Amino acid sequence: MSLSAYSLALEAYAEHGVDTEAALQVLARTPISLHCWQGDDVRGFESGAGEPGGGLAVTGAYPGRARTPEELRADLDQALALLPGRHRLNLHASYAELGGAKVDRDAYTPAHFQGWIDWAKARGLGLDFNPTYFGHPLAQSGLTLTHPDDAVRQFWIAHGIACRRIGAEMGRQLGSAAVTNVWIPDGSKDLTVDRRSPRERLAHSLDAIFAEAIDPALAIDAVESKLFGLGSEAFVAGSHEFYLGYAITRRKHVCLDAGHFHPTESIADKISSVLQFVPGLLLHVSRGVRWDSDHVVLLDDPTRAIFEELVRGDFLGRTRVGLDFFDASINRVAAWVIGARAALKALLAALLEPIAQLRDYEKAGDFTSRLALLEEARTLPLAAVWDEHCRRQNVPPGLGWLTEVQRYERETRAHRI
Ligand SMILES: C[C@H](O)[C@H](O)[C@@H](O)C(=O)CO
Ligand SMILES: [Mn+2]
């Protein structure tokens, strides 16, 4: 699209009192944390790495999965080159680079992630981090921080403690606080008659993990709930109510994953409630489809609603935005690019909302005009502003990125068979 398309768009938005230049400035400085696990089907690089387990299932057999840290970093470089703005990488502990050393997750140190830190530093990226409570012999029962066996539980507590220290070191070296997000799969496939004990153990385990004070300028703690998973259909210890209460009482960030609630429940509506009571939010932007919580993000209504709430409530400053999906049925680099660009477009759409006019109508009780303008705003020329943003940020506008991904695929695929 030409510059004149942007000029026309600028005028169209200005007619509704919207400053497209101001919107582009906010968009340019808002990072999205790209999840490393889309690139290798949530396998990681520890010895014996394979299917993730923990109720996470990756379907599809598209060729080209990254098999080494070098391949994954190259794939991420390719994806990041097609995203406007400067972003972050969200890493799981299972992506440790152990160099053949026999060290288990309870003893991981920042040294095992120095390759990632150096890579991020060279690119001016921030890192976020996650302890990995799945894909490990001691997680085969599906229980970790709630495990009734004290020794197993202590192992996973030690892992959590190690990961918070690693997150803090990432934050220190990169000059940007890393969010360290705890998600555990613990639950029960079928009816359980004791929900109290596992939740009491989970609260105690988390308290032990968080006992060490860490400077929030280096690392931020978040806890992530889930409604159910494969193998935990009847009960999940870390439910929304559990973590909301935990985060409020312990001053932690709550992670809201868009795929972790009932299908008709929207996380957008939770944002202004949860932020009344917790210091901040981590979002896992995802797209649930029936029982799967992890399809590639699109510019659909639920995604738009999330970003509308962040902008309308002036919550961007208290929210970290990450992606969380895994699809092995399409090109994995394209999956990152489609999902991240969709999230950024949703943010742009929210920033371009004629909010002053809408608020005036609402205050005046003129709900007819409010609804009419909300509908009208959906077809204002968002694409022309988006394309202009891509051009200014030196990334392909429109579908131009796809040719790049296809070229990269041709060049790399030959080496990954
Ligand atoms: C791999 C991630 O930690 C995982 O997707 C988690 O965030 C989640 O959402 C589990 O369903
Ligand atoms: Mn998630």
Known binding positions for Mn(2+): 260, 292, 294
**Residue 149 catalytic?**
no
Distance 210 CA to ligand 2 centre (A): 20
Please answer whether residues 327 and 287 qualify as being in contact, where contact means their C-beta atoms are separated by less than 8 angstroms.
Answer: no
Question: What pTM does this model have?
Answer: 0.97
Query: pLDDT tens digit string along 324-350?
Result: 999 999 999 999 999 999 999 999 999
| Ligand 1 contact, 43 CB (< 6 A) | no
Side-chain-side CA neighbours of residue 27 (13 Å): 30
3-14 vs 382-392: helix crossing angle, rounded to 10? 130
Point out the annotated binding site.
Answer: 260, 292, 294
Q: Does the CB atom of residue 37 touch ligand 1 within 6 A? A: yes
pLDDT of residue 414: 73
pLDDT of 3 reads 59
The pLDDT-based confidence of 279 (bands split at 50, 70, 90) is very high
For 111-128, write each residue's pLDDT tens digit.
999 999 999 999 999 999
Say if CB 77 and CB 337 are below 8 A apart: no
Instruction: Pick the catalytic residue from 169, 221, 224, 387.
Output: 224
Q: What share of the chain is helix, strand, coil (3-state, %, to 5)?
A: 50, 15, 40
Q: What's CA 284's distance to the chain center, in Å?
A: 4
Is 226 an active-site residue? yes
Q: Which member of 136, 226, 270, 345 is catalytic?
A: 226
DSSP result, 75-102: HHHHHHTTSSS--EEEEEGGG---TT--
- Dist. CA 306 → ligand 1 center (Å): 19
Identify which of 41, 43, 56, 130 to mutate to test ligand 1's pocket (most ligand atoms within 8 A of the CB).
Answer: 56
| 224 CB within 6 A, ligand 1 | yes
- Residues 37, 45: Cα–Cα separation, whole Å: 11
Amino acid at 140: Q
Contacting residues for 2 by C-beta, under 8 A, at least 6 apart: none
Short-list 335, 385, 388, 396, CA closest to 65: 335
Query: Is 136 one of the annotated active-site residues of the chain?
Result: no
The answer to whether residue 106 is catalytic is: no
Q: Is 224 a catalytic residue?
A: yes
- Cβ(396)–Cβ(78) under 8 Å? no
State the burial class of residue 145 (Cβ atoms within 10 Å of its Cβ: 0-12, 13-18, 19+): buried
- The string of pLDDT tens digits covering residues 387-396 is 999 999 999 9
Region of residue 55 (left: phi > 0; alpha: psi -120 to 50; beta: else): left
| Ligand 1 and 42: CB distance under 6 A | yes
* Dihedral Cα 332, 336, 342, 346, nearest 10 deg: 150
User: How much distance in Å is there from the Cα of 325 to the middle of ligand 1?
Assistant: 8
Active site residue 324: yes
Domains of the chain, earliest start first: 25-351 (3.20.20.150)
DSSP letter string, 207-272:
HHHT-S---TTTEEEEEE--S-BTTBSSEESS-HHHHHHHHHHHT-EEEEETTSS-TT--THHHHH
Whether ligand 1 lies within 6 angstroms of the CB of 169 is answered as no
**Secondary structure class of 73 (helix, strand, coil):** helix
284, 345, 389, 401: which is the annotated catalytic residue?
A: 284
* Distance set, CA 367 to CA 93, 362, 371 (Å): 49, 6, 6
pLDDT band for position 1 (cuts 50, 70, 90): very low
**Amino acid, single-letter form, for residue 133:** Y
The finding on whether 257 has its CB within 6 A of some atom of ligand 1 is: yes
Q: What's the complex ipTM? A: 0.98
pLDDT digits (tens, 9 = 90+) for 281-294: 999 999 999 999 99
Residues with Cβ within 8 Å of 350's Cβ and at least 6 positions away in sequence, in order, are 304, 307, 308, 310, 311, 312
Residue 163 pLDDT > 60: yes
Is the CB of residue 307 less than 8 Å from the CB of residue 349?
A: yes
Q: Are the beta carbons of 325 and 339 closer than 8 angstroms?
A: yes
Put residue 124 in one of left, alpha, beta given phi > 0 → left and psi -120 to 50 → alpha.
left
Per-residue model confidence (pLDDT) at position 413: 75
